[in-house]
Amino acid sequence: MTRTSCCVVGGGPAGLVLGLILARAGIRTTVLEKHADFLRDFRGDTVHASTLTLLDELGLGEQFAALPPRWVQKLAVQLDSGTFEVADLSRLPGRHQHIALVPQWDFLNVVADASRREPSYELIMKAEVTDLVWDGKRIAGVTYFQDGQSHLVEADLVVGCDGRSSVVRQQAGLRSRTFGVPMDVLWFRLPRLATDPEGVVGRISRSNLMIMIDRGDYFQIGVVIRKGSIATLRDRGIEMFRQRLRGALPWLGDRVELLESFDDIRLLNVVLSRLSRWYRDGLLCIGDAAHAMSPVGGVGVNLAVQDAVAAGRILAPALGTGPVPTASLRAVQVRRWLPTVLIQTFQRLAHRVVVETSIADDEADPRPTTAPAPLRLLQRFPVLQAIPGYFLGIGLLPEHAPDFARASDGATVRAGARSA
Ligand SMILES: Cc1cc2nc3c(=O)[nH]c(=O)nc-3n(C[C@H](O)[C@H](O)[C@H](O)COP(=O)(O)OP(=O)(O)OC[C@H]3O[C@@H](n4cnc5c(N)ncnc54)[C@H](O)[C@@H]3O)c2cc1C
């Protein structure tokens, strides 16, 4: 049995950032992650300017820059009628006028390595949480399985950071409101050549909506399909899908042949939902566990990280002295509610306007796409591209590292954590 102040379930962006911040406050923090490593493909690759600023504040900016990530300042989409710039980050305030593209496991390793240097921190891998421990109506810990053995962690507070299929959320009986989503995503890799476009490449046509994330020597590609249409695609066979790719992105050439079957392609089930209440006595949910995000806009990681920073700042003073008052848990939800609702509203709107009109049910629609009015406006007045740039790069209500979590000259500032 382990006794800790805060048990964080899930070592994704939300869980690892929260763990680091609490540990920097000197609070006994145990993070449980069910996988043996962070090497998973189905996660956001984008680290936004506000998260880059946070990494600087935490003293991790240099380690992150040394990975090295790919820096992206402008985002464009390719239509049949040409390439259109949609977002310009060069006018962002602060040190970072870009977003970084990096496989998420590299980002998580930077945060995990820094956390492991904190004496009050413990990260347990291959630890799958299966149940909550109850003390009357209060949640007082979790049980997890590791190598076939059951373990108990008692905690003053459990924080569910276990993503959109959260076990913690479900076991706590917290209810989600789920919004209809018209799409799923097919996710696969193809080699990238030096002559290919760099950064993030969006492709929109009447029958296709796809995104290509430049990961150096390969593209991570996401093709949006109508929800539930995978069976039809499989029935038609891989060659039909390859033809669709050739039609949309002729410059990929023979590379599409590398997709030998649908076994080379993963289906990602897109979900958009949020809890109306993120907490109950002894428990809080943040990140995708509280609000599952659509990949639209690529903002889920940033939002999860911002939740974690707010939670760390609000909860640190209340932790370490016994059960955390529910007022503190509520304060986290109140702080993060507005950005969550606004971003999800934007995603729902985007599903309706862009996604629904550009994903084909069946054969490719040969009519060329023309740029919609907002896109034409952005080309006519490029200065307006700074608005989507700000939305993507900084987001709504960015959070900053609390004083107790900041590092100066690589050294952790621990003193005064409780009063910060
Ligand atoms: C196809 C797709 C593409 C996306 N692309 C982007 C993008 O480009 N940019 C972006 O910002 N966002 C993107 N998102 C959204 C983004 O991935 C999420 O919003 C973000 O990862 C949420 O972070 P999190 O820490 O809350 O949860 P997660 O990243 O889901 O992390 C949860 C962690 O908990 C662990 N876990 C789960 N259950 C248990 C358990 N029972 N016990 C212990 N551990 C457990 C998991 O292994 C995982 O490590 C995308 C989403 C999808 C579906």
Q: Which two three-digit tokens encode residue 8?
A: 């964080």
pLDDT given for residue 369 in this prediction = 66
**Which amino acid does the sequence have at 180?**
G
CA of 43 to the centre of ligand 1 (A): 6
pLDDT given for residue 264 in this prediction = 95
CA of 40 to the centre of ligand 1 (A): 10
CA of 415 to the centre of ligand 1 (A): 32
CA of 163 to the centre of ligand 1 (A): 5
> Which of 144, 301, 347 most suits a substitution to test ligand 1, by most atoms within 8 Å of the C-beta?
301
CA–CA dist 262, 260 (Å, integer): 7
Check pocket membership of 15 for ligand 1, CB cut-off 6 A: yes
- Locate the ligand 1 atom nearest the alpha carbon of residue 269 and give its number: 53
pLDDT given for residue 45 in this prediction = 82
Query: What is the reported pTM?
Result: 0.92
CA–CA dist 145, 383 (Å, integer): 53
Q: What is the mean pLDDT of each run of 10 residues along the chain (420 residues)?
A: 96 98 97 92 82 97 94 87 89 95 93 97 98 97 97 98 96 95 92 88 80 88 91 94 90 94 94 97 98 90 96 95 94 98 94 70 59 86 94 92 81 38
Check pocket membership of 14 for ligand 1, CB cut-off 6 A: yes
CA of 11 to the centre of ligand 1 (A): 9
Strand residues in 117-204 grouped as ranges (E): 121-124, 128-135, 138-146, 149-160, 176-179, 183-191, 200-204
CA–CA dist 217, 289 (Å, integer): 33
CA of 115 to the centre of ligand 1 (A): 19
Check pocket membership of 19 for ligand 1, CB cut-off 6 A: no
pLDDT given for residue 374 in this prediction = 83
- Locate the ligand 1 atom nearest the alpha carbon of residue 299 and give its number: 11
Check pocket membership of 25 for ligand 1, CB cut-off 6 A: no
C-alpha pair distances (Å), 383 with each of 16, 27, 42, 99: 37, 46, 34, 18
Check pocket membership of 312 for ligand 1, CB cut-off 6 A: no
Q: Which two three-digit tokens encode residue 165?
A: 């299929």
Q: How many residues in the chain?
A: 420
Rg (CA), the chain: 22
Nearest alpha-carbon partner for 344 in 300, 399, 307, 390: 300
Place of tokens 């239509």: 79
End-to-end, the C-alpha distance of the chain in Å comes to 31
Check pocket membership of 171 for ligand 1, CB cut-off 6 A: no
Check pocket membership of 46 for ligand 1, CB cut-off 6 A: yes
Residue 204's contacts (CB-CB under 8 Å, 6 or more residues apart) are 77, 78, 79, 354, 358, 369
pLDDT given for residue 132 in this prediction = 98
